[in-house]
Structures are given as C-alpha cells and as structure tokens.
Amino acid sequence: MVENAPIENDESHIEQWKIKRLIKKLSTARGNGTSFVSLYIPAGDPLVKHMQLLASELSGAESIKSRQTRQSVQAAITSSREKLKLYKNTPENGLCIFCGIILMEDGKSEKKITIALEPYRPINVFAYKCQNSFYTEPLLSLLSDDDKFGFIIIDGNGILFATL
C-alpha cells in the first residue's frame, strides 16, 4: 500500500494541474451578454432534477429582450442539456458543465464550447449560473491540499502541539 501512495499522489497532482489550466481558460473567456452557463451537480443528485431546471431556464430565456443575448443563452442552455443527456447517473464525484459562446482572440469570430468535467474529488455544492463569465469558485476548492503536517515543539518551559 505504501508503494501505491506516490502513484496516487502523482495522479492527484496531474488532476490539480488540469483543473488549474481549465480555471485559467474559463476565467479568461469572454463573450456577448450573459451567455455563459456553469452547472455544478453534487454526487448523488438525480439528473432529472437538473434537466427540469435547465428546461425551466430555457423557457425563461424567451423573455430576454436582446435577440443576440437571447439566442446565445438559449444555445448555451440547450448544449448543457444535450451534454447532460449523455449521462445516465451522476458520476461518483459529481459533475461540472460549462457551456457558452466565447469570442476568439481576433475579437470577431465566436466559438461554442461545452465542457463536462467529472472532478477527481467529490464536489458537494450545487450551483447554476448564467452570467457574463464562467463561475469557477467551486473548482478552486478542488485545489486545496488535504495533507496536514503536525509539529511538536518541546523546550524547557513546556510543549506546543500544532498542525499546519
């Protein structure tokens, strides 16, 4: 079991690097209006509940006055629903879906992105955001390190116990 610890630790570092790269990519993405959908589904949540949420959000998007924003939001919600349909059950550690139409570096062309992420550690938060940027704060919690270090300091006057 001790021999497997470095391999698992390496895999954890690789997953953390992938998450950091994804957060950077998502946080720098820009688009028109509030057309970025971020959906976090905790482990064990029924997918039907989230499909119903997206259906109600899709019907609510009909009332957006700006035609371009309305179409972008509807496209993002529809793509999120299609991605969610690929799953029969919520994955073991939950599911994160990011969808939207981003502006490319030239500032003129657009590209639709849809990312489904099964986190390497359980995600215990539900969040649905449709805004002008991707909501990445729950991903940051995956980057925190669970390793604890203990200190015992002994001198002539007493003992100090601490964890870091």
Question: What pLDDT, in 10s, does the model give residues 114-133?
Answer: 999 998 888 889 999 998 88
Cβ–Cβ < 8 Å for 104, 78: no
DSSP code of residue 66? -
What is the domain partition of the chain in residue ranges?
13-163
Question: Which CATH number, 1.10.287.990, 1.10.357.10, 3.30.960.10, 1.25.40.10, labels domain 13-163?
Answer: 3.30.960.10
Dig out the tokens for 98 from the structure. Answer: 């990011």
Structure tokens at 86: 């690929």
Per-state percent for the chain, helix, strand, coil, to nearest 5: 40, 25, 35
Bridge partners of 57?
Answer: none
Mean pLDDT along residues 24-31: 84
> Quick check: 29 and 38 in contact, CB under 8 A?
no
Instruction: Please state, in angstroms and rounded to a whole number, the distance separating the CA atoms of residues 13 and 142.
Output: 11
* Six token digits for residue 139: 């991903």
Query: Cβ contacts of residue 62 below 8 Å, gap of 6+?
Result: 70
The model's pTM:
0.78
Contact 31, 103 (CB under 8 A): yes
Report residue 38's pLDDT band, with 50, 70 and 90 as the boundaries. very high
